Amino acid sequence: MSSNIPYKTYLSEGEVPCEWYNVRADMKKKPAPLLVPSTLKPCTPKDLAPVFCDDLVRQELDDETAFFPIPAEICDFYRMFRPSPLIRAYFLEKALGTPAKIYYKFEGNNTSGSHKLNSAVAQAYYAKAQGLKGVTTETGAGQWGTALSMACAFFGLDCRVFMVKCSYEQKPFRREVMRTYGASVTPSPSMTTQIGEKINREHPGTTGSLGCAISEAVEAAVSNPGYRYVLGSVLNQVLLHQSIIGLEAQAAFRKLGEKPDVIIGCAGGGSNLGGLIAPFMGEKLRGESDYRFIAVEPASCPSLTRGRYAYDYCDTGRICPLAKMYTLGADFIPSASHAGGLRYHGMSPVLSELYDQGLMEARSVRQTDVFAAAQYFARTEGILPAPESSHAIRAAIDEAIKCRENGEAKTILFGLTGTGYFDMTAYQAFNDHVMGDYVPADEELEASFAKLPEVPAT
Ligand SMILES: *Cc1c(COP(=O)(O)O)cnc(C)c1O
Q: For residue 353, how far is its CA from the centre of ligand 1 (angstroms)?
A: 19
Of 173, 195, 229, the one marking the end of a domain is 229
Rounded distance between C-alpha atoms, residue 314 and residue 29, angstroms: 22
- Kindly state whether residues 307 and 438 are assigned to the same domain: yes
- Kindly state whether residues 272 and 313 are assigned to the same domain: yes
User: Quick one: pLDDT band at residue 341, thresholds 50, 70, 90?
Assistant: confident
Residue 128: inside a domain: yes
- Kindly state whether residues 109 and 176 are assigned to the same domain: no
First to last CA, the chain: 57
Pocket of ligand 1 (CB under 6 A): 114, 116, 143, 233, 266-272, 341-342, 386, 388-389, 417-418
- Kindly state whether residues 371 and 415 are assigned to the same domain: yes
Residue 374: inside a domain: yes
- Ligand 1: which of 139, 233, 377 to mutate, most ligand atoms within 8 Å of CB? 233
- Residue 447, C-beta contacts closer than 8 angstroms, at least 6 positions apart: none
Residue 458: inside a domain: no
- Residues recorded for the chain: 458
Residue 121's domain comprises 43-69+116-229
DSSP string computed for 144-199: HHHHHHHHHHHHT-EEEEEEEHHHHHH-HHHHHHHHHTT-EEEEES-SSSHHHHHH
- Kindly state whether residues 52 and 90 are assigned to the same domain: no
Query: Residue 297's beta-bridge partner residues?
Result: 364
Rounded distance between C-alpha atoms, residue 108 and residue 85, angstroms: 10
Q: For residue 342, how far is its CA from the centre of ligand 1 (angstroms)?
A: 7
User: Quick one: pLDDT band at residue 355, thresholds 50, 70, 90?
Assistant: very high
| DSSP 8-state code for residue 23 | G
- Kindly state whether residues 205 and 301 are assigned to the same domain: no
Identify the residue whose C-alpha is closest to ligand 1 atom 2: 341
Residue 357: inside a domain: yes
Of 202, 229, 256, the one marking the end of a domain is 229
Give pLDDT tens digits for 143-191.
999 999 999 999 999 999 999 998 898 888 999 999 999 999 999 999 9
Atom of ligand 1 nearest to the CA of 270: 8
Residue 14: inside a domain: no
Residue 76: inside a domain: no
- Kindly state whether residues 399 and 374 are assigned to the same domain: yes
- Ligand 1: which of 104, 116, 118 to mutate, most ligand atoms within 8 Å of CB? 116
Rounded distance between C-alpha atoms, residue 329 and residue 344, angstroms: 10
- Kindly state whether residues 398 and 258 are assigned to the same domain: yes
φ, ψ dihedrals at 88, nearest 5°:
-85, 120
- Kindly state whether residues 389 and 241 are assigned to the same domain: yes
- Kindly state whether residues 240 and 384 are assigned to the same domain: yes
Residue 167: inside a domain: yes
Residue 316: inside a domain: yes
Query: Is the distance from CB of 263 to CB of 82 less than 8 angstroms?
Result: no
- Kindly state whether residues 215 and 337 are assigned to the same domain: no
- The total domain count for the chain is 2
Give pLDDT tens digits for 357-399.
999 999 999 999 999 999 999 999 999 999 999 999 999 999 9
φ, ψ dihedrals at 364, nearest 5°:
-115, 150
Give pLDDT tens digits for 89-110.
999 999 999 999 999 999 999 9
- Residue 41, C-beta contacts closer than 8 angstroms, at least 6 positions apart: 35
- Residue 436, C-beta contacts closer than 8 angstroms, at least 6 positions apart: 367, 368
Of 229, 256, 273, the one marking the end of a domain is 229
Q: For residue 132, how far is its CA from the centre of ligand 1 (angstroms)?
A: 27
Atom of ligand 1 nearest to the CA of 114: 13
pTM to 2 decimal places: 0.96
What's 63's domain CATH number? 3.40.50.1100
pLDDT on residue 205: 87
- Kindly state whether residues 149 and 274 are assigned to the same domain: no
pLDDT on residue 318: 84
Rounded distance between C-alpha atoms, residue 10 and residue 1, angstroms: 19
